Structure 1
Amino acid sequence: MSVILIAEDEEAMLEIFAQVVEDLGHRALRASNGEEALVLARTEPPDLVVSDHMMPRRTGVELLRTLRADSRLKEVPFLLLSAARPTGLEEADAFLSKPVDLDTFEQAVQNVLRVRAAPEEPPRQEPMLAGARADRSNGTVREEMLNWVAHEIKTPLSSARLNAQLLLRKQGERSSGDERKCTEIILRQLDRMNTLVTSILDAARLSEGKLALRLEPGNFTAFLLEVVQDWSELQPQVDFLLKGAEQRVELSFDAERVRYILNNLISNAVKYGGETRRVEVSLSLSPGLAVVQVRDWGVGIAAAELPNVFDRFHRAEVAGGQGHGLGLYIAGALARLHGGTLGVQSTLGEGSTFSLRLPLSSSRRGL
């Protein structure tokens, strides 16, 4: 049994994190602010610290840095939680974005405890700021406001989602199908709310040039296979075809952000694919670029609307008012941040093809 210190200023979140930790067989120490967490850590050194970032009397990152400066506590692993992506998050042993998934949280706790004595990994690549830097003072204020909005909205969302997941787990086989269905609907609606909040915050950061990319080299073909496989399992009634996966393509990309782009394109292909229920994803190479195309045979987009599909808050008339009008705007901006482009070809009534172009790794360009 390990001793796990949990620092969280929202009482509901503190109690649910403690309950999850205790259900895993560990002992939980509870702190409602950063200073209290520091006192508890110095009184009884924990095996792991789980901390929110935006807390009174010491933020999560400030708590982390204070512990690292203490010779008795500098080796204690630290799991940081935040609705935003605070400066200094890379100093933590692990980071989870709120709202936190129950299984993901449990797995993160177990993983950090398991690798506590393992050799340290090489430092992560520093985030690359997207776009030109805004005025320092104004930019800082805006970023603080965005972080505050994220924290104030996503923290109750996270609490509601974790409680709904716990309820679903406890219902198990004993509850009626109607009860489980109601809980699953609650979870889906909470996920929709989280997606909307995330999109609004991302759109704001993009317009301010404040969104950060974490570029890492990797096998893009394997990544694309994983994305399409996830969709095949999520939507078994749709026929997903992946072409061009026999070639290995190396890219330097932000997996989380590119997954957002692809998920948005595939989601639209499923949503507006009509009766065909078929989505084709293809991977090909052109000079210096990897090209991913997502094609459907559905309702298509009118020629007059094509120039505006990547605008903020634009929703095609054929969409019937669905969506929040930010998905393609964010996807296009993320493609540009990677040095690539996102385009579309479409004919009304015949379907659409979205093309994502990303620059190849420098070593591959020379081939």
Structure 2
Amino acid sequence: MSLVLIAEDEEALLEVFSEVVEELGHRVVRAHNGEEALLLARTETPDLVVSDHMMPRRTGMQLLHAMRAEAALSDVPFLLLSAARPQGREAAQTFLAKPVDLSTFEQAVSSALQNHAAAHPESAPSAREAASTPGLASEEMLNWVAHELKTPLSSARLNAQLLLRKVHKRGVDDERRSAEAILRQLDRMNGLVTSILDASRLADGKLELKRVPTALTPFLEEIIQEWRELQPDVDFTLHAGEPVEPQLLDADRLRQVLHNLLSNAVKYRGDSHRVDVDVTLNPGLVLIHVRDWGVGIPASALPHIFDRFQRADEDRGRGHGLGLFIAAALAKLHGGSLSARSTLGEGSTFTLRLPRRN
């Protein structure tokens, strides 16, 4: 049995995190702020620390730095949770964004504990100088908003997942459908909050890409397969011509762009069951085309679909008008662009242009 120290200032989240870890067979010590967590860690060295970032009396990052500075605590695995993306989070062994998926959280805890004996974390970086950029206040406000919105969402989602797990054991279909409906709406709320935060960071120039060489065709095949499993009634096809050399991309952010384009293609396909993805090469460019054969976009709306809070239809229940704005901004961050052409009743084609790495 391992000892897990959980630091979380939200009582509801502290309760559910503790319940999940205890059900995994481990002993839990609870702390309501960073200072209390550090004192408890000094009293009895834990095998793992699970900590929220935005806490009173020491943030999660401050707790991590304090532990890394003490010989007895320097090698304790650290799992950091946050709705924001604090600088220096890579110093923790694992970072999970709120709201946290139940299975992902369980896997992260189990993996950290299993690897504890072999773990050799690097020394914590020296304390960074205080930022003095004009955007600091707005960035801190953004992080606060993320924390305040996503913390109750995380608690509600984890409890709904626990409820769904219990309902599955009882086999009651009505209760299962209700629990699944709750999860879908919570995920929708989380998607909206995430999109608002991404849009704000992009507008303020606060979002940075992490580019690595990425084999484009296997990457696209993986995404298409995910959508085939998610939407089995839709015929997704991928046409890739000549091989493309690995490209320098932020795979997570490019996945976000493509998921948005494929999601829109599915939503607006009308009676068609076909979505095509084509890859073509131009001098210096890789072009990814996502085409549906559905309702199309009115000519009057086409010039504005990449603006914030703009939508191509009047059905407000189908989205929040930020997806294409974010997708276009992420394409631009990659040094590329996103464009669209459409004919009413014949469908739409979105083209993502990315600079080609030769």
* Distance in 2 separating the partners of 1:353 and 1:47: 52
Shift in Å at residue 137 of structure 1? 4.4
- Tell me what 2:7 maps to: 7
Cα deviations by residue, 1:298-345 (Å, 9 ceiling, x for unpaired): 011122222111011111136566311111001000110111111111
In structure 2, what is the equivalent of residue 177 of structure 1? Answer: 173
Contact kept, 8 Å, 1:220 with 1:251, in 2: the verdict is yes
Q: Which residue pairs with 2:76 in the alignment?
A: 76
1:91 aligns with 2:81: no
Q: For residue 202 of structure 1, report the CA deviation from its aligned partner.
A: 1.0
Corresponding residue of 2:105: 105
CA 1:287 to 1:319, structure 2 compared with 1: closer, same or farther past 3 Å?
A: farther
Among 188, 202, 225, the residue aligned to 2:221: 225
CA-CA distance at 1:142 after TM superposition = 0.3
- Closer, same or farther: CA 206–23 of 1 in aligned 2, 3 Å: same
Does the 8 Å CA contact 1:250/1:360 hold for their aligned counterparts?
no
* Residue aligning to 2:126: none
Q: Does residue 293 of structure 2 align to residue 297 of structure 1? A: yes
SS of equivalent to 2:297? coil
One-letter amino acid matched to 2:286: A
Q: Contact between 2:75 and 2:121, CA under 8 Å: does it hold in 1? A: no
Task: State the one-letter code of the partner of 1:358.
Answer: L
Q: 1:257 and 2:253 equivalent?
A: yes
In structure 1, the gaps of 5 or more residues are 124-134
Aligned residues of 1:221 and 1:249 also touching (Cα < 8 A):
no
State the SS of the aligned residue for 1:274: coil
Among 319, 342, 346, which residue is 2:342 paired with?
A: 346
Structure 2 residues without counterparts, runs of 5 or longer: 124-130
In 2: Cα distance, 1:262 partner to 1:121 partner: 35
Q: Size of the alignment, in residue pairs?
A: 351
Contact 1:3/1:28 (8 A) holds in 2: yes
Whether 1:189 and 2:188 are equivalent positions in the alignment is no
The 1:115/1:222 distance shift into structure 2, 3 A limit, reads farther
Give secondary structure in 1 for the equivalent of 2:335: coil
1:203 aligns with 2:193: no
Corresponding residue of 1:29: 29
**Structure 1 position 145 matched with structure 2 position 102:** no
TM-score (norm 2): 0.94
* 1:321-332 to 2 correspondences below 5 Å: 322-332=318-328
Matched AA of 1:349: G
CA shift digits 1:111-142 (9 cap, x unpaired): 2223334466999xxxxxxxxxxx94431100
For residues 155 and 107 of structure 1, the distance between their equivalents in structure 2, rounded to whole angstroms, comes to 20
Report the counterpart of residue 131 of structure 1 in structure 2: none
Contact kept in structure 2, 1:6 and 1:18, CA below 8 Å:
yes
Percent sequence identity is 64
- The secondary structure found in structure 1 opposite 2:291 is strand
Partner of residue 273, structure 1: 269
In 1, Cα distance between equivalents of 2:159 and 2:241: 40
2:288–2:353 CA contact under 8 A, matched in 1: yes
Q: CA RMSD in A?
A: 1.9
Question: Please, what TM-score do these two structures have when normalized by structure 1?
Answer: 0.91
> Partner letter of residue 235 of structure 1?
Q
The 8 Å contact of residues 277 and 291 in structure 2, kept in 1 or not, is answered as yes
Q: Which residue of 2 aligns with 1:212?
A: 208
Say whether 1:57 aligns with 2:57: yes
Letter in 2 for 1:286: N
